[in-house]
């Protein structure tokens, strides 16, 4: 189920010794500290690099500059290329009419959607449901695509995907089977088993062990999206659940706040780039501290503060309500009115009120 290597510290694919001032010993130290690619060095700060690799700060700056160049961060394209890309934007259904209406049709490709809320609000349920919905035929609101799931909290559960597939309407199930040329009907357990395993095969999961690893996985995700670009089921959804947990745990204390934000910002731009280049929905989750915590300020504000706010194009605040009900609130979306809708989290997945 995982065609890409989930191990954190593999041998570097990039030739670190081609960077100025990096010999074999420094290259080893960099790799040991988790800086194994141009991209991971490109996002480091000079002080961070000089501490871990034992080189002066000005040499660190040179190394970082060269790594940025080698990683090919940034770049220009023409206005017509941008236009052509914008015309490909797709909408991914929640299969909940009220929520789809709120979102103007569903989650957009080439955008980042941030789902935030307290524990148990249903953020991970949303990522699981979208990993199913993205695979549906387009006439049922899907994008006929596959999913990349970056899991930082060990929340991905294949069993939950099974529940959600079984929870689809028979008509949608039949169309999905037909689309994949699976013979049989939803009543036929063999056909269902075949469908379930095919759906799971189209979800590429990797666990992120720490924030640097998470940043590297975004790089891998880009390669994976590129490699599958011309497939029958190209990558149309990239989930990061949770986006912020590692960053929050690792960068504690006020002194590290700026560095944390800088890394998070870079990571988000990497994700955005994948969304743009490969026409994918980027769906990230963010926990809101449920007990008031003065360090993070207002408990109803998502972790990550402003930078995250400016980068994510759609922001959805999930709140628990009675029983299985959840309030889905759209916050600060461009060109869409703020508003709320209700969904239910049930055994068969996310359902209308
Ligand atoms: N099989 C199921 N049937 C019904 N409800 C379920 C099922 N599985 C999960 N849920 C509901 O989903 C809730 C968990 O939601 P979820 O894991 O998405 O929360 P979260 O927002 O990701 O929380 P956290 O911040 O801790 O990651 C459970 O409390 C339960 O109410
Ligand atoms: Mg969760």
SS3 per residue for 189-244: HHHHHHHHHHHHHCEEEEECCCHHHHHHHHHHHHHHHHHCCCCCCCEEEEEEECCC
Q: Which atom of ligand 1 is nearest to the CA of 347?
A: 3
Q: Which atom of ligand 1 is nearest to the CA of 346?
A: 4
Instruction: Evaluate whether 141 touches 117 at the Cβ level (below 8 Å).
Output: no
123 is in an annotated binding site: yes
Mutation probe of ligand 1 site: the residue of 94, 116, 125 with most atoms within 8 A of C-beta: 125
Mutation probe of ligand 1 site: the residue of 345, 346, 347 with most atoms within 8 A of C-beta: 345
User: What's the token pair of residue 186?
Assistant: 């939803």
Selection from 173, 160, 251 nearest residue 205 by Cα? 160
Point out which residues pair with 206 in neighbouring strands. 150
Q: Where in the chain is the domain with CATH 3.40.50.300?
A: 84-352
Ligand 2 centroid distance, CA of 123 (Å)? 5
User: What's the token pair of residue 69?
Assistant: 């160049």
User: What's the token pair of residue 131?
Assistant: 């990993």
- The CATH homologous superfamily to which domain 13-71 belongs is 5' to 3' exonuclease, C-terminal subdomain (1.10.150.20)
Nearest alpha carbon, ligand 1 atom 13: 120
Nearest alpha carbon, ligand 1 atom 29: 120
119 is in an annotated binding site: yes
Backbone angles phi, psi at 292, to 5 degrees: -50, 130
CATH 3.10.510.20 fits 84-352, yes or no: no
Q: How far apart are CA 150 and CA 205, in angstroms?
A: 6
Point out which residues pair with 260 in neighbouring strands. none
Rg of the Cα atoms in the chain = 21
Nearest ligand to residue 115 Cα:
1
Q: pLDDT tens per residue, the chain (353 residues)?
A: 444 433 333 344 678 998 988 999 999 888 888 788 887 888 788 888 888 888 888 889 899 888 888 776 556 677 887 788 888 999 999 999 999 999 999 999 999 999 999 999 999 999 999 999 999 999 999 999 999 999 999 999 999 999 999 999 999 999 999 999 999 999 999 999 999 999 999 999 999 999 999 999 999 999 999 999 999 999 999 999 999 999 989 988 778 888 888 888 889 989 998 998 899 999 999 988 655 544 444 555 666 555 566 666 899 999 999 999 999 999 878 788 889 999 999 999 999 99
Q: Which atom of ligand 1 is nearest to the CA of 242?
A: 27
Q: Where in the chain is the domain with CATH 1.10.150.20?
A: 13-71
120 is in an annotated binding site: yes
Instruction: Evaluate whether 168 touches 176 at the Cβ level (below 8 Å).
Output: yes
Q: What is the pLDDT of residue 13?
A: 66
Q: Which atom of ligand 1 is nearest to the CA of 324?
A: 31
């Amino acid at each position: 189920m995982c065609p890409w290597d989930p191990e954190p510290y593999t041998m570097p694919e990039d030739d670190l010794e081609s960077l100025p001032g990096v010999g074999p010993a420094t290259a080893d130290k960099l790799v040991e500290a988790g800086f194994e690619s141009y991209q991971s060095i490109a996002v480091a700060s000079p002080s961070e690099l000089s501490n871990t690799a034992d080189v002066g700060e000005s040499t660190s700056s040179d190394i970082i500059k060269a790594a940025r160049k080698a990683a090919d961060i940034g770049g220009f394209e023409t206005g017509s290329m941008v236009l052509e890309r914008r015309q490909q934007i797709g909408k991914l259904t929640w299969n909940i009419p009220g929520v789809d209406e709120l979102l103007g049709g569903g989650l957009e490709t080439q955008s980042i959607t941030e789902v935030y809320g307290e524990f148990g609000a249903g953020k991970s349920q949303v990522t699981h449901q979208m990993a199913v919905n993205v695979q549906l035929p387009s006439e049922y609101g899907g994008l006929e695509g596959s999913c990349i799931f970056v899991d930082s909290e060990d929340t991905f559960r294949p069993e939950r995907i099974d529940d959600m597939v079984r929870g689809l309407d028979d008509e949608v199930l039949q169309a999905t089977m037909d689309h994949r040329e699976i013979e049989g009907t939803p009543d036929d357990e063999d056909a269902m088993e075949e469908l379930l395993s095919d759906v799971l095969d189209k979800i590429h999961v990797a666990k992120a062990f720490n924030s640097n690893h998470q940043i590297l996985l975004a790089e891998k995700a880009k390669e994976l999206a590129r490699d599958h670009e011309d497939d029958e089921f190209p990558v149309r959804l990239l989930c990061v659940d949770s986006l912020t947990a590692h960053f929050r745990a690792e960068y504690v204390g006020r002194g590290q706040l700026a560095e944390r934000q800088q890394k998070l910002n870079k990571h988000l731009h990497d994700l955005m780039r994948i969304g743009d280049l490969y026409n994918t929905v980027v769906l990230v989750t963010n926990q809101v501290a449920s007990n008031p915590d003065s360090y993070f300020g207002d408990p109803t504000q998502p972790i990550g503060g402003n930078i995250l706010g400016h980068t994510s194009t759609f922001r959805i605040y999930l709140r628990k309500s009675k029983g299985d009900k959840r309030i889905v609130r759209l916050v600060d979306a461009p060109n869409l009115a703020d508003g709320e809708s209700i969904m239910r989290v049930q055994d068969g997945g996310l359902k209308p009120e």
